Structures are given as C-alpha cells and as structure tokens.
Amino acid sequence: MNELNHWHPVLKSAALRQKPIGIELCGQEIVLFRTQSGKVGALKDRCPHRRMRLSLGWVEAEQLVCPFHGWRYGCDGQGHSPSTPRLKPCAEQFETAERYGWIWLKAAKSETSLPDLDFPDYHLACSLEHRIQAPLELVIDIFAEMEHAPTSHTFFGYGRSQVADVEPRFDFSDPTTIKLLSIVPQRSLPWIFEKMFGIRGGDRFFNHLTMHFSPMYHTYEIYWEQQKTGQLRQERLLSVFFFNPINSDETQCMSLHYLSKPQWGMPVFHLLQKHVLKYVLDHEVKRDKWVLENIADKQVDLQQLCLGRFDRILIEYRKRLQRIYRGQGAVSSATQSEPSKITQALYQLASSSNFPKDRSI
C-alpha cells in the first residue's frame, strides 16, 4: 500500500522490551521486536513457513524465533530453518527508526524522510496515544475544523454564542500543505488552569493549524493575547498529531505536546504544569473520540452532506490526502461532491489567500 511508504509512529519506545509486539497498520499485521543489542526489527506478522504469527514467538540474541517450528529471522527479514539449513526463508521487512520517544516504521526502500520535531523554543510536556473506532478521513475531519469546539470541547476555543462571528482563514496556496488560522475569544477556564498557565477567559485565542501529508500529521501552534492590552501571554502550546490508519474502520492518533520553555525555575511547578496539561489534552481528545464513535454513518465521502463555511477544508485536504499520502492522483467522484452555490458563496466569505500579518509564530 502506498500509505506505508511514509513514516508512521506506531509505538512508544519504552513499550518494546524483550517480548515481541504485534500491531496493525494500513490493514497489515506487523510484528515489532527488540534484539539483545537493542536494535528494533519490524516484519510482516507471518512466518513464511506455515503462516504462524511471529508476534507469539520470542527473541534470542539478534533473531526473532517462530513459536511453531523454531525458524528464526533477523531484523533484515533473512531467516534460518533449523530442520532444513539449506533453505533461505525471508520474511517481509519494514524499515524502523527510534526518535522522539517513539518507534517509527515505513516500507523498506521508500525514500520519504522522518519529520523534524525538534522545536528549539519549546520543551516536551507529554505524549498521548488514542485508538478511535472511525475511518481516517472522519478523524482528520474533526481535527481540521473548529466549528465543533463550543459543543464538543471543554477547555480550548470559544463559546457557543460566538460561533456565528468566527471566521476561519484558509491558505491553500502550498500544494503540499494546508493552513488554517482561527482567532477566537477564549472561553472561561477553570481557575487552576488560569493560575497555572496565566490565561484568562476573554483572551484572544490564536490557533495556527498546518496539515501535512507525508506522513499524515497536523501541527497546532497556539498562543493567547491579553484582551485589554494586546500583549501576548507568556505561555505557548505546540501540539503535533499523527494519524495512522489501523484499517479501514480504525485510526490511531499519536500526539506530542510542547510548552514554551520556562523563563524561571521552580521545577516542581513545571512538572505540575505538565500533568495538568496532559489531563486537559487527553480529556479533549477523548471528547472527539466519543463524537466520532457515535456518528451514525461513517462513510467518508461528502456526498449528500449539507456543508457549511467551516467545511471547505474537508474537501481541499482530501485532494492532498489522495495525491500525496495515498499516491492515487485526483480525488474520485465517489469521495468528493461538488459544493452547492450557497456553499461556494460561504467558502468565498471564509477563505483568505494569505494569513493576516498581525502576529507571526
């Protein structure tokens, strides 16, 4: 599958120890294992001999042992049969990397690069993982638009009474990414969050979303501006979400969350900040998960839907998803519908060729 040509973060590095772990990605069952020297291998979870799941085996030295007949395989997929040494069995192998606390994999010999997630002005606060019973497109949909924030979310974004005044600002000028800027009034927050992060209800909430397609991930650069003075709040948040299609019905979200580097000491306070932020972000993603898993019809095409002005991004990103991530060229008519004249007029009102120049990240 073309999707496997891109790097995917599939497991936290700390989770892979002596025992092999079976995963599913893009409909393929894959076994991950760590050798005695610490190297990570990834093979198709089928022994070429009799199709036994290799993830039920064990590691000896630098090889993964099949539990059925004891055939062995190295990280390169090259195998050995104890009963028939002249055979040269070979298991399908995937390329792996360990970075940012995760194990990544992609198809062997594909030429895509790992994304750069080193942000010098930030420090890593937490990482999260969520498995959602919904297709990839529906998961990306909810992470791409802001209209659902007042009703589906608790902490970030604006209140329900302000939805008619929010103007999403799209930038489709780059054929490899999509950008969206949302500037909204921050809803009221619990006092502990306000005290800990120096944010107040009524502040201007800036959310810069960039959608990437090789691999499929979003970056959100978030900051706040004081309502009265226009000065920026000190705290800034940067979140990175990767979307892995487990199969046609499930999606894995792997996310990293960064805070701006502290300007002063008190390590205990900053540790508490991280715990609070992790709770808040986990709560917000689980709210999205609940919505997605309760959608009545999980078809991914947009036909027969009454799309609004927030939804232009759903059509536009599908084009790049097909062309870049899936390598399938243009979006088929079964996946994309032509918007009505009313919807097109709403798109025109909501779109902008460039982001405003009042703030830069």
- Residue 327 has a pLDDT of 93
Report the CATH number of the 2-107 domain.
2.102.10.10
At 125-148, the pLDDT tens digits run 999 999 999 999 999 999 998 878
- The yes-or-no verdict on residue 243 having pLDDT over 60 is yes
Q: How far is CA 8 from the centre of its chain?
A: 9
At 78-114, the pLDDT tens digits run 999 999 999 999 999 999 999 999 999 999 999 999 9
Where do we find the tokens 């969206």? 180
Report the CATH number of the 122-292 domain.
3.90.380.10
Beta-bridge mates of residue 59: 64
Q: What residues does each domain of the chain span? A: 2-107, 122-292
| φ/ψ of residue 313, rounded to 5 | -60, -25
Question: HSE of 110 in the Cβ direction (CA atoms, 13 Å)?
Answer: 23
> Is-above-0.85 flag for pTM?
yes
